[in-house]
Structure 1
Amino acid sequence: MTTKNSTTRTNSLNRNDRKILIILSHPDLENSIANKTIIEHIKKAIPESQLEVRHLDSLYPDYKIDIEAEQAALLKADFLIFQHPLYWYYTPSILKKYFDDVMTWGFAYGTGGDKLKGKHFLQSITLGGSKESFTPLGYNRFSIEDILKPMQQSIYHIQMIYNQPLYSYRNAYVPEIYNSMSEVKENAMAHAEKLIEKIQEFSKGNKEKVGTFIHKWFSHFDRLDENGYFIQYLHKDIEFTFPGYGNMKGHTEFNAWYYAIKEKLEVPIKHEVKNIIIEEIERNRFDIHFQVHLQAKEKESQKEINVTETENWKLIWDESSDRPIIEKYVVSA
């Protein structure tokens, strides 16, 4: 497949508007070094229109959490981040209460409780100890990944997409005893940069991955790969149309069509993909238009095929499996 001269364009619709919700928990944020530094840097880097930071300790000093308000904030968010120090190998107490009060039956789990399904989650944690202390022979005996497993399972249970946690060591400062203020600030700034990078990567969405996938698809088609490669990316009720074959539906009809193509054409064939336009019509749903220049040879007649076709795909990007699924595939001469 030739892609050297191919171009990928996006329409003017801007879908980089994914909402980031940071649930911040620190009982003395004003005197914090690490968490205060991290939040300050995040607010400078991420547009206010995209970011909401809710500091639980400020909002609810009496621990009376407004469940309706917090659930509303969650519903608007695409990416939920818990930002907090590690307290007794878990979260500060108000963040635990937040989870207990807000992640209710019928909202986050149980019958009808799929309101957060498919949203992304990341736990961003500052640790006081060193990396060595979170080892089997260290002071804390367990790795931070082991310590965070209850939270991980909770997120799985409410059907959110679990991103690997972000954490940094040596974020506690005790004058003349434990770390130095400059070291803690440096660690916090490095932590903030990593978190900003994750947020920005999420905000880009999956449009670039879609473009990469299209070229990968045709590279496998050039060698008429096993049909199992293609089936994995097709919706079970895929609708597809090809010149000379009409309208077809489902995996069985795709397999029959693909077997006929393999019987008819010699390998390799050549697809040149060009003029790709990818429109994200809603989050992770794409309408794709492009042209394909096909060069091939028929086995029996040795007839040369040299045509340019237009293709239109309807595709969703499944973030749970991080893979594309084609729902509709239309080829026209």
Structure 2
Amino acid sequence: MSRVVVISGHPNSEGSNANSVILNELKRSVTELDVRYLDLLYPDFQIDVKAEQDALIDTDIIILQFPFYWYSIPALLKKWIDDVFAYDFAFGANGDKLKGKDLILSFTVGGPEESYDPLGYNHFTIEQLIYPLQQTAYLTGLNFNKPIYTHRMVYVEGVYNKLEDVQSRAASHAQRLIALIDELKSAPEVIIKKFIKQWFENFDVLPNDSALFTQYLSDDITLTMPEGEFIGHSGFRDWYKGARETFKPNCEHMVEQITVDKKGSQSYLVKLRVRLIAETFADSKLQGEKINLLVNELWELEVRAHNEIEISQYTVEVV
């Protein structure tokens, strides 16, 4: 899993003076990073939609890195959005695969800052010109972050800018981008989603020691399950014992949807749609039946000091 995916939309990434500096700085400084150079992957403009969608599904942060061309994005990046942000993937009845992920627009602008003004020769501000991309984020459920862009990023030998100045500005641009990535990675919502992934990976194994889970539960937690209500750590252990007697290890919890809503300064309400695929023991109540079950889960939790999670309410309802 790459927590940060960068979609490089420069049409000539290897010949870039600014975007290449930015991407190289990212590769040196950011862990769990996947940089996808569209010009190298798809010189014929034939996008592998599934490969690109797969790259986005398991990431937390999506960065579109590009030069600002004619008040918009380069052609190949536009085609990438058109093809990859498809119905029932990015929008539509079942199109929630990007919902809750962070989007960062990171781009280089050739003209000076003063030209992007009602009184300048470009007449409109950068923020106004990127409204279509902002609306794309809203429609697909992406979190739209304040874009990072830098002016005077074109080098024309003997005519416009010095190469060392452009590359220096690109390095500064990269540091601002890295700072935003670090900030987003430490956000409570990201910490919660990472915790949920680990929680279900542990549940799939069904380890003997329930302390792997109770360490994250409040002493008076209320668990409302299809089997009934269970209170506190002892209640969880009773429920977990029944689960281990029913389901064989190496089951699979697939989290299809996560919504994190803030309740208080440290408390959050987490809504999950989870699919459980599992085999059961022949001597259990399910008598060896193979399970493919869709459930809604509702968690109430707090993110405490040192990013420690404590769950106080845990509800599971079969869809």
Q: TM-score, normalised by structure 2?
A: 0.63
Q: What SS does structure 1 have at the residue aligned with 2:122?
A: coil
Name 2:119's counterpart in structure 1: 137
Name 1:165's counterpart in structure 2: 147
Name 2:100's counterpart in structure 1: 118
Kindly provide the amino acid, as one letter, of the partner of residue 318 in structure 1: D
Structure 1 stretches of 5 or more lacking a match?
1-16, 211-278, 291-309, 311-315
In the alignment, does 2:5 pair up with 1:62? Answer: no
Cα separation, partners in 2 of 1:323 and 1:102, compared to 1, 3 Å: farther
Q: What SS does structure 1 have at the residue aligned with 2:43?
A: coil
Deviation at 1:205, TM superposition (A): 3.2
Name 1:235's counterpart in structure 2: none
Pair member with larger Rg: 1
Structure 2 stretches of 5 or more lacking a match?
200-214, 220-231, 233-258, 270-299, 302-310, 314-319
C-alpha distance in 2, partners of 1:153/1:131? Answer: 23
Deviation at 1:77, TM superposition (A): 1.2
Name 1:109's counterpart in structure 2: 91
Name 1:282's counterpart in structure 2: 196
Name 2:175's counterpart in structure 1: 193
Deviation at 1:203, TM superposition (A): 1.8
Q: Does the CA-based 8 Å contact 2:2-2:58 persist in structure 1?
A: no
Q: What SS does structure 1 have at the residue aligned with 2:73?
A: coil
Q: How does 1:1-333 map to 2 (within 5 A)?
A: 19-47=3-31, 50-206=32-188, 281-282=195-196, 287=216, 317-318=260-261, 324-325=267-268, 327=300
Q: What SS does structure 1 have at the residue aligned with 2:195?
A: strand
Kindly provide the amino acid, as one letter, of the partner of residue 127 in structure 2: E
What's the RMSD between the two structures over aligned residues? 3.2
C-alpha distance in 2, partners of 1:322/1:125? Answer: 34
Q: What SS does structure 2 have at the residue aligned with 1:122?
A: strand
Deviation at 1:284, TM superposition (A): 11
Deviation at 1:204, TM superposition (A): 2.0
Q: What SS does structure 2 have at the residue aligned with 1:110?
A: coil
Bigger RCO (CA 8 Å, 6+ sep): 1
C-alpha distance in 1, partners of 2:170/2:97? Answer: 33
C-alpha distance in 1, partners of 2:56/2:194? Answer: 23
C-alpha distance in 2, partners of 1:322/1:30? Answer: 46
Q: After alignment, is 155-164 or 322-331 more displaced? A: 322-331
Kindly provide the amino acid, as one letter, of the partner of residue 325 in structure 1: Y
Kindly provide the amino acid, as one letter, of the partner of residue 57 in structure 2: L
Deviation at 1:28, TM superposition (A): 1.5
The number of residues matched between the two structures is 222
Q: What SS does structure 1 have at the residue aligned with 2:168?
A: helix
Kindly provide the amino acid, as one letter, of the partner of residue 14 in structure 2: E
